[in-house]
Chain A
């Protein structure tokens, strides 16, 4: 009995027996091909009933097909469209007066007004279908079941992305439903070259995961590599795309993300158009983009949605503040404890004056303030909205004002922490900001022990690490290292669109040109042709 063995296996898994490995080998996925539906209707119903033992949300609706044949409709309450079931399945099939059409399976497959009917003969497929909201229709005398595409469940409306806001550009964000998300991609990229491959990951959650890419732009080997890495995942559940990200990363021990996540369809599509692949995961609005380079994390969709000069200016500002968010507190500490001569006299004197009553060494003060700031930030995210504003006011008052007035913290330190805090939020991708925020602490320790020398050592270590990173084989610092002069147009500055002739070369050389060359608007050119 396939169904029983499945339940047993799942039960074992839940009981956390020590034979984890052997369990994973006999899991649900492997049992999939083995059991087919029985010819006996009662037998099939019995099997399914035992599979869904103690599942009160699974409905078994038995009825008579055209008043004669016994049939059973199995669906999960809340996952299937009850009205449609009633209107298009039950009422036509239960008409006693009409003659029973023959053969029955022909009728169900072709004459039922249901968007999608799939013949299933595997038990596992039946379960799959039921779990994803498609009711299963079984009838006496038929060796096959039918999966009716009538899934419908409550989902959130498309909203503005919360973590990646913007002034100009699309305001749509991904939501938790995979179908809606893929439809959003398809709505932007209408070409059939946009391919979306699906698979299920998670022995218990059976989460739908889709890989989207553009045929001809994305490297074939890249898609194969992503697929193999995804197929390698054996896990009970996927609740967030981060699970997958960590399972398929190139270097799992790096503070820097080698796969980017976004909740914006426009960002995902921009990546698709650059030949990258997008991994969509059901149940989370955050989709994954791979391969990426370090600079993808610093580029915001809004850089491209405003005039290129503004985009370039903002981008430079972002680079500058990225450096600040990593280095400012450590530079402050290093200068205050080792290199007093490195600042202008007037500045040193006023800093000295403000530090006069502070009882802590600069490094302790800096660490304490930075940790407090991180705590405030985290609390601000976690707190209920109603309390949030109160806490931020208290935090700002206590830390900003009272501690300075009490002489526990110097005012310049508050300024440094505030600038650093703001700087880390200038990163368009939240995760990239976090990487820098974390690295700030070891840098501060280095600065407090070895001064500028320590900071240099820290920077060198970070740069070496960044150089050694790969994202699906693409160097992390590309196009800066290895240097690709042509691609710097999107790194050193944001070139105007008519200059963005080429796509970034991720791995293959195919389809380099994204647009016709020399499209710069030129009134003269127009008049010549006239």
Chain B
């Protein structure tokens, strides 16, 4: 009996021997919600972190009705220069009374200048450190990155959340840290990141109440940014990457006035690499269904003939988008689609021969776009609204 008790006491006290060595109370944490890295001067970077202020939304202790106490500022931004992130971070820590915690940082923004000079060195820290998540989204800012963090969005709690939500809408590219790492280490060694910019605040809002939004795509060759793509080109890129989600395609069918707007309901994208007679060629097969959102023409889309015409225009529009995007990245000589990988899988021998000058081959590659587009849904009404019977072209 005595021995059992002794054993129990020993077992019972062992957990306390560890002294709770890595125990950190949540009130001792500076929860980083977004981070920005800028280039400053010669060989110096500036690390800015957006830190959540818990007491800003604290309801405990306050009997007051509004939980959004005070000015509604839920985050603060602290920044520090250093030769690299870890150096800057250790300096930054001395300015923060709480321990920096990266576990919930879901947004990393690289400044444009830094992006142009290379992000590999900084990326190493983010991937090596156990706390930052691989699922965090990565962005490039137009100009400096710090103001992105400093903006105080009126709708979301903090600007990092704004960016994350915008990315989830799939309007621009959505690149996580893991994606970025895969793109950079993979065969084509090219990457694409969404570009963000501050939307100026609306009338009546304070100066800082602008929000960051996605304006296009930054094209990286190796780890250096070489150019940008506009929003429209980005849409084409999204088609090629099979990431199309809700957005609107507006086009004008041949021979009629006005425009039709469609929203793609489903899209299947197949990218088929081909080598025909030593000629490298890319076949893009797309089959998509669209739903009519607005019909500004006088076409009655319930009529098969008019529908065909509209579908043809829809197909053309998609094809144009894709061609435009593809030409653009060919021009940049950066295979951000990872086509090299696709070719390697299908033609490993041929690819190995051209591996070191793949960029040139990519730049001269022919692309064939094969779009099968249908309009399946027309909404609640068939005929264009607000037009009398004889105005509707009903052939």
Complex Cα distance, B24 from A337, in Å, reads 5
Interchain CB contact (< 8 A) of B15 among A350, A361, A410, A445? A445
Interchain CB contact (< 8 A) of B54 among A336, A353, A411? A353
Asked whether B380 is an interface residue with its Cβ less than 8 Å from the other chain, the reply is no
Asked whether A345 is an interface residue with its Cβ less than 8 Å from the other chain, the reply is yes
Segment from B99-107, B185-193, B208-216 that makes contact with A: B99-107
Segment from A319-327, A387-395, A448-456 that makes contact with B: A448-456
Interchain CB contact (< 8 A) of A348 among B18, B31, B131? B31
A205-234, CB under 8 A of B: which get 1 and which 0? 000000000000000000000000000000
Complex Cα distance, B12 from A336, in Å, reads 22
Asked whether B29 is an interface residue with its Cβ less than 8 Å from the other chain, the reply is yes
B9-57: which residues lie under 8 A (CB-CB) from chain A?
Answer: 12, 15-16, 18, 20, 22-27, 29, 31, 33, 52, 54-57
Asked whether A404 is an interface residue with its Cβ less than 8 Å from the other chain, the reply is yes
A345-402: which residues lie under 8 A (CB-CB) from chain B?
Answer: 345, 348-358, 361-362
Asked whether A338 is an interface residue with its Cβ less than 8 Å from the other chain, the reply is yes
Most A C-beta atoms less than 10 A away, residue of B12, B23, B56: B23
Most A C-beta atoms less than 10 A away, residue of B31, B60, B133: B60
Closest A residue to B74 by beta carbon equals A349
Contact call B131/A349, Cβ cutoff below 8 A: no
Asked whether B59 is an interface residue with its Cβ less than 8 Å from the other chain, the reply is yes
Asked whether A405 is an interface residue with its Cβ less than 8 Å from the other chain, the reply is yes
Contact call A355/B24, Cβ cutoff below 8 A: no
Interchain CB contact (< 8 A) of A353 among B58, B101, B131? B58
Asked whether A407 is an interface residue with its Cβ less than 8 Å from the other chain, the reply is yes
Complex Cα distance, B33 from A345, in Å, reads 9
Complex Cα distance, B103 from A357, in Å, reads 22
Query: What is the count of residue pairs linking A and B with beta-carbon distances less than 8 angstroms?
Result: 95
Contact flag A354-B52 (CB < 8 Å), given A337-B25, A348-B31, A449-B15? no
Contact flag A341-B104 (CB < 8 Å), given A353-B58, A355-B54? yes
Please indicate the chain B residues that have their CB under 8 angstroms from the CB of A349 in the complex.
31, 52, 54, 57, 104, 157
Please indicate the chain A residues that have their CB under 8 angstroms from the CB of B58 in the complex.
353-354, 356-357
Complex Cα distance, B106 from A355, in Å, reads 22
Please indicate the chain B residues that have their CB under 8 angstroms from the CB of A337 in the complex.
20, 23-26
Complex Cα distance, B15 from A351, in Å, reads 26
Asked whether A152 is an interface residue with its Cβ less than 8 Å from the other chain, the reply is no
Contact call B131/A341, Cβ cutoff below 8 A: yes
Closest A residue to B102 by beta carbon equals A341
Asked whether A484 is an interface residue with its Cβ less than 8 Å from the other chain, the reply is no
Asked whether B63 is an interface residue with its Cβ less than 8 Å from the other chain, the reply is yes
Number of interface residues of B (CB under 8 A): 31
Contact call A352/B29, Cβ cutoff below 8 A: yes
Contact flag A356-B15 (CB < 8 Å), given A345-B104, A405-B63, A411-B59? no
Asked whether B386 is an interface residue with its Cβ less than 8 Å from the other chain, the reply is no
Please indicate the chain A residues that have their CB under 8 angstroms from the CB of B20 in the complex.
337, 448-449
Complex Cα distance, B61 from A406, in Å, reads 5
Please indicate the chain A residues that have their CB under 8 angstroms from the CB of B101 in the complex.
340
Contact call B27/A340, Cβ cutoff below 8 A: no
Interchain CB contact (< 8 A) of B61 among A341, A407, A442, A450? A407
Instruction: Determine how close the nearest CB of chain B comes to the CB of A313; give it in whole angstroms.
Output: 35
Complex Cα distance, B25 from A445, in Å, reads 15
Asked whether A446 is an interface residue with its Cβ less than 8 Å from the other chain, the reply is yes
Interchain CB contact (< 8 A) of A361 among B25, B33, B157? B25
Please indicate the chain A residues that have their CB under 8 angstroms from the CB of B106 in the complex.
345
A429-461: which residues lie under 8 A (CB-CB) from chain B?
Answer: 442, 445-446, 448-451, 454
Complex Cα distance, B58 from A272, in Å, reads 57
Complex Cα distance, B20 from A356, in Å, reads 21
Contact flag A362-B15 (CB < 8 Å), given A352-B31, A356-B55, A356-B58? no
Complex Cα distance, B59 from A404, in Å, reads 9
Interchain CB contact (< 8 A) of A358 among B27, B31, B104? B27
Contact call A353/B27, Cβ cutoff below 8 A: no
Complex Cα distance, B33 from A35, in Å, reads 90
Please indicate the chain B residues that have their CB under 8 angstroms from the CB of A345 in the complex.
33, 104, 106
Complex Cα distance, B61 from A405, in Å, reads 5
Contact flag A356-B27 (CB < 8 Å), given A349-B57, A411-B59? yes
B152-206: which residues lie under 8 A (CB-CB) from chain A?
Answer: 157
Contact call B27/A355, Cβ cutoff below 8 A: yes
Please indicate the chain B residues that have their CB under 8 angstroms from the CB of A350 in the complex.
57
Closest A residue to B20 by beta carbon equals A449
Contact call A357/B60, Cβ cutoff below 8 A: yes
Interchain CB contact (< 8 A) of B55 among A351, A353, A362, A405? A353
Instruction: Determine how close the nearest CB of chain A comes to the CB of B75; give it in whole angstroms.
Output: 10
Contact call B57/A357, Cβ cutoff below 8 A: no
Please indicate the chain A residues that have their CB under 8 angstroms from the CB of B131 in the complex.
341
Question: Measuring CB to CB, which residues of chain B are less than 8 angstroms from any residue of chain A?
Answer: 12, 15-16, 18, 20, 22-27, 29, 31, 33, 52, 54-61, 63, 101, 103-104, 106, 131, 133, 157
Question: Measuring CB to CB, which residues of chain A are less than 8 angstroms from any residue of chain B?
Answer: 336-338, 340-341, 345, 348-358, 361-362, 404-407, 410-411, 442, 445-446, 448-451, 454
Known pairs A351-B26, A354-B60, A450-B18; list 5 more (Cβ under 8 Å).
A341-B103, A349-B104, A355-B26, A356-B54, A451-B23
- Selected A-B contacts with CB under 8 Å, 26 pairs: A336-B25, A337-B20, A337-B25, A345-B33, A348-B31, A348-B104, A349-B57, A353-B54, A353-B59, A353-B60, A355-B25, A355-B26, A355-B27, A356-B27, A356-B60, A357-B55, A357-B58, A357-B61, A358-B60, A362-B26, A407-B60, A411-B59, A411-B60, A449-B16, A450-B18, A451-B23
